[in-house]
Amino acid sequence: MTFARFIWKSLVAIKDGLVLVLLLLFFWAIYAALTVRPGGGMVREGALYLPLEGPVVEERTRINATQLLISRNGPRKEYQERDLVRAIEGAATDQRIKAVVIDLEKFGGGRQVHLARIGEAMDKVRAAKKPVLVRSNYYTDSSMLLAAHASEVWVDPIGGAVISGPGGTNLYYKSLLDRLKVKAHVFRVGTFKSAVEPYIRDDASPASKEALGAVYAAVWEAWQADVHKARPQADIALVTGDPVKWLAAAGNDSALAAKQAGLVDQIGDKAAFGARVARIVGAESGATAGTFRSTQLGAYLADLGEPHPGKGIAVVTIANEIVDGDAGPGIAGGDRIAKLLDDAALKDYPALVVRVDSPGGSVLASERIRAAIERWKASGKPVIVSMANLAASGGYWVSTPASRIFAEPATITGSIGIFGIVPSFEDTLANWGVHADGVRTTPLSGQPDLFGGLTPQVEQIAQAEIEQNYARFLGLVAKSRNKTPAEIDKIAQGRIWDGGTARQLGLVDQLGDLDDALVFAAGAAKLAPGAWHPVFLGNKPDTLTSVIEQAMGKNVDSDSGSDDGSAGDIIALASAHQRGLAAQLDHDLSLLLSGQGAQAYCLECAGVATTNGAVPSAKGWLGHILARLLG
């Protein structure tokens, strides 16, 4: 009987082993089929076709393979700004490409610095005497900023445009917390550090409105200047001054109103637009009406390849919130980025460019990244910072080791301040008949106690630590900017600044984009023009995730985009705004309930940008509450 059991177990083990081998062979076959990289032969004579079905970001979010498999809809598409710029600029001199065609129907938006840079690339195509055609159902601020640089702008007959400018509302929770009897213990330094105001006020403070108003004005001026330069015929004052009168003059026909205001050139549906493109680049033989010969982004980038002349200049990207741990890419995990920097320091990179597009976050994570950058600087290699849309609070903290800081006029920076938030629920529980009591051996025993309350000593220690971190922040900035901490304190206090003002104040050295920063870094490293190329650290894609993305139709060239793109009309815009407020609610409550440490974070910066490219928390606010109460 024992021998029979042994034989049976052996046969089962052999069977399981064979099944495992077959599964491995099956998945490797799928991998081989899906990872065949498109080559030069995949680029067809015709148009470079860019149907943008998601937001433009600094760094694509890396989604966990397990999340991809269990998700019903899969991740939204994201397009790295530098990929789009490289493709569009490549099309300008490529004899195979007769036109650049951009479809913004499902566009997920983007921040102003990124979109302006893509617009410059579109200008290069037009300068090469090639048409750039853009279409959408409905144009908003971000899509109009791109469309302004096109030679032909099309809108659907039932579409239109709405230009709203920066600004809007934030949510404030003081009365709600009072009703729930939740105490939000706030520790902060900075008159303008308004990130904590939603938890201690029911409205924005005058100081917050003053700072935001100045930044909004600068960003809006930069937007109008960009659009006016690219499209002088666009009457922005007419569109934004009295939009009701503007629409009424066109018989409330939004598409016609957009054309009369010079925002668009042609009114026509997608088929008519496609037919127009086909007359320029050639029709697709045997295909439906309105199709044209084209190559999409992924195939074209693969054909272009990466430039590799001379030495590589290391570029580390700090994108979105700075958090503790190994998170990212697409979010700035402090440990992950510090390790990238330390590993790269062992290689023969002559210079480092730090690309920052972040509102900040964890003080601990920001310090770990800063210390790793400082180690580069100590080695004698040039360290240059290039600020994109946001380099505020923790985003400025990590910039302090730089020997030179580049920003752009629409960059939001500053917000030099620190805060921390700890909620406690003793009054909430008491309202339901639950009370906390016990014995302490010291004032710190059992503290911080979220259910029994914080002792005065803990509150004093927490505030003292926040003040000490602020003093350290001032010292780092003062050393970097060759000023005294007192001088920095006058322009700090948590206040945000636009790039132009930041330069005047000495927080920024020079206005310029990433290319300008790279050229400066190459010069500082004594590299001749054309004898260097950028190397983006940590940019290698995860193979398994890439395979699953392609299998789910989520790669950049697939046609199965998400439904969170450009709105179809003003009602759909309201719906999109509602989703944005829901995401803000989730984020704000997560910040309150997550138990994070001291934060160098610019919450108010989110209102300046169209999208931050971050993936919303999968847990949600209810999950955070349950985790806090039950965990």
- Percent of the chain at pLDDT > 90 equals 59
Kindly name the residue from 98, 193, 381, 483 that is annotated as catalytic.
193
Give domain status of residue 466, yes or no: no
Provide the residue type at 139 as one letter.
Answer: Y
Q: Residue 22: pLDDT above 70?
A: no
Nearest alpha-carbon partner for 144 in 263, 265, 266: 263
CATH number, domain of 102, equals 3.90.226.10
What is the average pLDDT value for the chain, to the nearest integer?
84
Q: How many CB atoms lie within 10 A of CB 116?
A: 23
* 571 belongs to a structural domain: no
The values of phi and psi at residue 598, to 5°, are -60, 140
Region of poorest pLDDT, from 92-101, 558-567, 613-622? 613-622
**Contact yes or no for 90/303 (Cβ under 8 A):** no
Give the pLDDT of residue 435: 87
Q: Which residues contact 482 (CB under 8 A, 6 or more apart)?
A: none
The strands making up 418-424's β-sheet, listed across from edge to edge, are 183-189, 418-424, 599-601, 360-362, 322-323, 332-333
Distance in angstroms (rounded) separating the CA atoms of residues 404 and 136: 40
Residue 506 CA to residue 488 CA, distance in Å, equals: 9
Indicate whether 221 belongs to any domain: no
Q: What is the mean pLDDT of residues 145-155?
A: 98
Fill in the amino acid letter for 225.
Answer: A
Is 435 inside a domain boundary? no
- Residue 193 falls in the annotated catalytic set: yes
Instruction: Classify residue 495 as exposed, middle or buried by CB count within 10 Å of its CB (0-12, 13-18, 19+).
Output: buried
Average pLDDT of 195-209? Answer: 88
The pLDDT of residue 338 = 97
**pLDDT over 80 (residue 116):** yes
Q: Which residue has the higher pLDDT, 381 or 193?
A: 381
Amino acid in the structure at residue 142: S
Residue 292 lies in a domain: yes
Asked if the structure places residue 449 within a domain, the reply is no
Q: Has residue 544 got a pLDDT over 70?
A: no
Quote the pTM value: 0.84
Q: Could you tell me if residue 319 is inside a domain?
A: no
End-to-end CA distance of the chain: 50
pLDDT band with cut points at 50, 70 and 90 for residue 73? low
Strand-pair partners of 585: none
Assigned domain for 126 exists: yes
Range with lowest mean pLDDT among 64-68, 175-179, 594-598? 64-68
pLDDT on residue 30 = 53
Confidence of residue 570 (pLDDT cuts 50, 70, 90): low
Number of structural domains found in the chain:
1
Q: Is the pLDDT of residue 399 over 70?
A: yes
Neighbours of 559 (CB within 10 A): 8
Neighbour count for residue 64 (Cβ, 10 Å): 13
Q: Which of 78-92, 164-178, 406-420, 440-454 has the lowest mean pLDDT?
A: 440-454
Q: Is 595 helix (H, G, I), strand (E, B) or coil?
A: coil
Q: pLDDT (tens digit, 9 = 90+) per residue, 255-293?
A: 999 999 999 999 999 999 999 999 999 998 776 777 899
Predicted confidence at residue 186, as pLDDT, reads 86
Helix spans in 71-164 (H): 81-93, 112-127, 141-147
d(CA 61, CA 617): 13
Q: What domain range is 105 assigned to?
A: 46-163+231-304
Q: What is the DSSP letter of 449?
A: B
Residue 619 a catalytic site member? no
Q: What is the sign of the dihedral through the CA atoms of 428, 432, 436 and 437?
A: positive
Distance CA 379, CA 370 (A): 14
Q: Provide mean pLDDT across the span 181-194.
A: 82
- Active-site position among 254, 386, 393, 480: 393
Q: Which has more confidence, 351 or 25?
A: 351
Q: What angle do CA 494, 496, 499 make, to 5 degrees?
A: 145
